[in-house]
């Protein structure tokens, strides 16, 4: 009988100990909730959900999102990150996920999120990005930072990774003999930066390059002892998920913009061709014989659309980014971008060394979140650019002559 009583008492103690601990935890959590949250979200989380979110509807599997919103704020909700301690944040989550103590604490919510693999960057606490100082509407150096979609994306990326952004500005050459792909590989291989934005996602750019040698572009603070065109051994590179798409559209000069269906519709106009570009090749291959016979060819670069502005031709297929840059330089331009977009285009991603898998993983996660939240589009709109979302497949297969002739 004594043994039974002792066993019963031990069992009762074991059963009641968690409940007592939970009661004490709930009491602390309730006090914190009343202090920080009740005036907006209601006592016991009861509110109509019209002016403030009804926390009873917060998904129990979104612990990380809850912590982020409390720390950083959202819409009209202030940020409490400098006020609430980590222990207090845990208690607030306990209060919300148990619905003010009315429901059991779920096992899934009790488990801590798996620790992210530590990210290794060139400089601890910093994310170094190689960005073109003369990248048109996509990137440019300014006295207080930078401008353009590529710059804006790496700036937001550094913030998402809780790292300070450091930019290595380089010169993007327009000459035909320059090789942007090899320059990207060279900068990463030489250790100039952790990543390079604006990387065109072509299959040919992601294979067959490593093991070769490539020339470095000119960059800020380049050592005097390194000659122009200094070459390095190229290491394997991988690309992130895409964050935007580079498209080509028809630009015309004049007051009206026709509804083009194909490049053949340019017949009868003075057509300009940007030599050595995909847009130029498509114009010559997909235009009518009469149109191609009358077309005029010019060197690539920003001067191309200025020639159009000056009346040397009145229509051309160019990248939408080139048009946006021209409009930035000349807000009163008479050039107009039509709604036509050529089916051929390519996605833009971020290039990193293949051996830095932890950083690549975190970059992909951050970019995916930025795309789904619409942040990348907002960055683009902030720079007054036409934004195009990435398309599937993410990586463009090698273009063939058949593609150039038939995809229209």
Residue 137 and residue 233 in one domain = yes
**Inside any domain, residue 400:** no
> What are the residues whose beta carbons fall under 8 Å from the beta carbon of 305, sequence distance 6 or more?
251, 316, 318, 322, 323, 326, 335
SS3 content of the chain, % helix, strand, coil (to 5): 40, 20, 40
Give me the sign of the Cα torsion angle 207, 213, 214, 219. positive
How many Å apart are CA 65 and CA 56, to the nearest integer? 15
Asked if 237 and 260 touch (Cβ cutoff 8 Å), the reply is: no
Residue 166 and residue 134 in one domain = yes
> What are the residues whose beta carbons fall under 8 Å from the beta carbon of 355, sequence distance 6 or more?
235, 236
**Inside any domain, residue 293:** yes
Domain boundary among 344, 359, 379: 344
Q: Which of 184-188, 263-267, 401-405 is predicted with the least confidence, judged by mean pLDDT?
A: 401-405
Asked if 129 and 193 touch (Cβ cutoff 8 Å), the reply is: yes
What is the structure's pLDDT at 117? 64
Residue 166 and residue 309 in one domain = no
| Bigger pLDDT: 275 vs 54 | 275
Residue 220 and residue 134 in one domain = yes
Domain boundary among 289, 323, 344: 344
337 strand-pairing partners: 251
How many Å apart are CA 134 and CA 144, to the nearest integer? 16
pLDDT tens-digit readout, 134-173: 999 999 999 889 999 999 999 999 999 999 999 999 998 7
**Inside any domain, residue 169:** yes
How many Å apart are CA 292 and CA 267, to the nearest integer? 8
Residue 146 and residue 196 in one domain = yes
370 strand-pairing partners: none
**Inside any domain, residue 407:** no
Q: How confident is the model at residue 271 (pLDDT cuts 50, 70, 90)?
A: very high
Residue 130 and residue 215 in one domain = yes
Which pair of structure tokens corresponds to residue 153?
Answer: 């994306």
Residue 233 and residue 253 in one domain = no
pLDDT tens-digit readout, 90-139: 888 888 888 888 888 775 444 444 455 678 899 999 999 999 999 999 99
Domain count within the chain: 3
pLDDT tens-digit readout, 321-331: 999 999 999 99
Mean pLDDT of all residues in 4-8:
36
**Domain coverage including residue 355:** 126-244+351-388
Exposure string over 31-50, b if 16+ CB within 10 A, otherwise e: ebbeebbbeebbebbebeee
How many Å apart are CA 182 and CA 185, to the nearest integer? 5
How many Å apart are CA 387 and CA 152, to the nearest integer? 13
Residue 44 and residue 188 in one domain = no
How many Å apart are CA 47 and CA 25, to the nearest integer? 23
What is the structure's pLDDT at 57? 84
**Inside any domain, residue 141:** yes
**Antiparallel, parallel or unpaired: β 315-319 and 145-147:** unpaired
Domain boundary among 344, 376, 403: 344
Residue 100 and residue 185 in one domain = no
Q: Which of 124-133, 176-185, 275-284, 373-382 is predicted with the least confidence, judged by mean pLDDT?
A: 176-185
**Inside any domain, residue 366:** yes
Residue 79 and residue 205 in one domain = no
Write down the pTM of the prediction.
0.71
What is the structure's pLDDT at 12? 34
**Inside any domain, residue 69:** yes
pLDDT tens-digit readout, 179-192: 999 999 999 999 99
Residue 291 and residue 185 in one domain = no
**Inside any domain, residue 12:** no
Residue 130 and residue 220 in one domain = yes
What is the structure's pLDDT at 107? 57
How many Å apart are CA 142 and CA 55, to the nearest integer? 44
Asked if 113 and 64 touch (Cβ cutoff 8 Å), the reply is: yes
Asked if 244 and 348 touch (Cβ cutoff 8 Å), the reply is: yes
What is the structure's pLDDT at 41? 86
CATH of the domain at 82: 1.10.760.10
CATH of the domain at 374: 3.40.190.10
Query: What percent of the chain lies above the pLDDT cut of 90?
Result: 64
Q: What average pLDDT does the structure give for the chain?
A: 88
């Amino acid at each position: 009988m004594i043994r039974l009583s002792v066993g019963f008492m031990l069992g009762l103690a074991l059963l009641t100990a968690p409940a007592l601990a939970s009661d004490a935890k709930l009491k602390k959590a309730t006090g914190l909730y009343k202090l920080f949250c009740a005036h907006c979200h209601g006592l016991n989380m009861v509110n109509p959900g019209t002016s403030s979110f009804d926390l009873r509807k917060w998904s129990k599997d979104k612990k990380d999102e809850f912590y982020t919103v409390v720390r950083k704020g959202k819409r009209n909700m202030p940020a409490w990150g400098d006020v609430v301690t980590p222990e207090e944040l845990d208690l607030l989550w306990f209060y919300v996920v148990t619905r003010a103590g009315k429901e059991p604490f779920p096992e899934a919510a009790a488990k801590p999120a798996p620790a992210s693999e530590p990210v290794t960057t060139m400089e601890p606490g910093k994310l170094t990005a190689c960005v073109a100082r003369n990248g048109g509407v996509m990137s440019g150096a300014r006295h207080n930072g930078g401008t353009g979609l590529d710059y804006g994306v790496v700036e937001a990326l550094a913030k998402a990774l809780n790292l300070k952004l450091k930019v290595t500005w380089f010169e993007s050459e327009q000459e035909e003999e320059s090789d942007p792909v090899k320059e990207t590989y060279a900068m990463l291989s030489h250790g100039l930066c952790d990543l390079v934005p604006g990387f065109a996602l072509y299959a040919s750019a992601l294979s067959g390059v490593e093991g070769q040698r490539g020339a470095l572009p000119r960059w800020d603070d380049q050592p005097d002892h390194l000659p122009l065109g200094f070459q390095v051994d190229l290491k394997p590179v991988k690309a992130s998920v895409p964050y935007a798409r580079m498209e080509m559209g028809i630009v015309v000069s004049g007051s009206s913009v026709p509804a083009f269906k194909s490049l053949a519709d340019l017949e009868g106009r003075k057509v300009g061709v940007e030599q050595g570009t995909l847009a130029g090749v498509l114009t010559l291959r997909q235009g009518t014989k009469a149109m191609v016979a009358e077309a005029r060819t010019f060197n690539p670069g920003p001067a191309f659309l200025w020639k159009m502005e000056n009346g040397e031709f009145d229509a051309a297929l160019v990248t939408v980014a080139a048009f946006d840059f021209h409009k930035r330089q000349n807000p009163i331009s008479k050039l107009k971008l039509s709604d036509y977009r050529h089916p051929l285009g390519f996605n833009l991603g971020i290039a990193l060394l293949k051996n830095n898998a932890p950083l690549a993983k975190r970059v992909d996660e951050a970019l995916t979140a930025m795309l789904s939240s619409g942040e990348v589009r907002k960055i683009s709109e902030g720079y007054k650019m036409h934004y195009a979302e990435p398309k599937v497949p993410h990586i463009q297969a090698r273009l063939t002559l058949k593609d150039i002739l038939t995809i229209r």
